[in-house]
Amino acid sequence: MTAAAEPTGVSSAASFVRTPGKLKELSPSALRAFKDIARAWKLTSYEQRIVLGVIPQSTYTKYMRDPDGAALSFDTLSRISILLGIFKAINILLPNAEIADAWVSKPNAHPLFKGKSAKDLMLDGSMENLAAVRAYLDAERGW
C-alpha cells in the first residue's frame, strides 16, 4: 500500500509551520514567553539553553539580546510550546503563582519523577521528558 500523494497547491499544517517565514514570525513572541517562564522558574542561562534543546551559548545570547531578529528552529519552537503548556497547566492546578512557580523545583513522589523535581526531569535535554511532564500535568487536570 502506498501513501496518498499530497494534492498540488495544498500544504499540510506541519509543512506550513516549518516554513522559514512562519518560524521567523513565531519566534519573537515565543522567546518573550519563554523568558517570562524562565524568570518565574528561576532557570539559569545554562538551564535555559538545555530546555531549548542544548543550544550554543552564542545562539542563546543572540536570541535573548534580539528576540525580534530570531528565527528559531521548529524543534526549539516545539520545546517552547511544550513549556508554555506546562506553565499553563501548573498555574491551573496551583492558582497561587508563587506556589505554582516553586512546584517545578520541588521533589515529586510520582513514579515519573522518581523523587526528583520536574525541573530535574526536564534538564536532561530531551523533548520526551518535556512532553512527559506536560502529559503528567494534563492528566492531573483531567485532560
Question: 66: closest CA among 39, 104, 32?
Answer: 32
pTM of the model: 0.87
Domain boundaries, the chain: 20-140
- Is residue 20 a contact partner of residue 71, using CB atoms and an 8 Å limit? yes
d(CA 120, CA 21): 34
| pLDDT one-digit tens code per residue, 29-54 | 999 999 999 999 999 999 999 999 99
The one-letter amino acid at 44: T
| pLDDT one-digit tens code per residue, 97-126 | 999 999 999 999 999 999 999 999 999 999
The C-alpha cell at 122 is 526536564
The one-letter amino acid at 25: E
Write down the residue that cell numbers 526531569 correspond to: 121
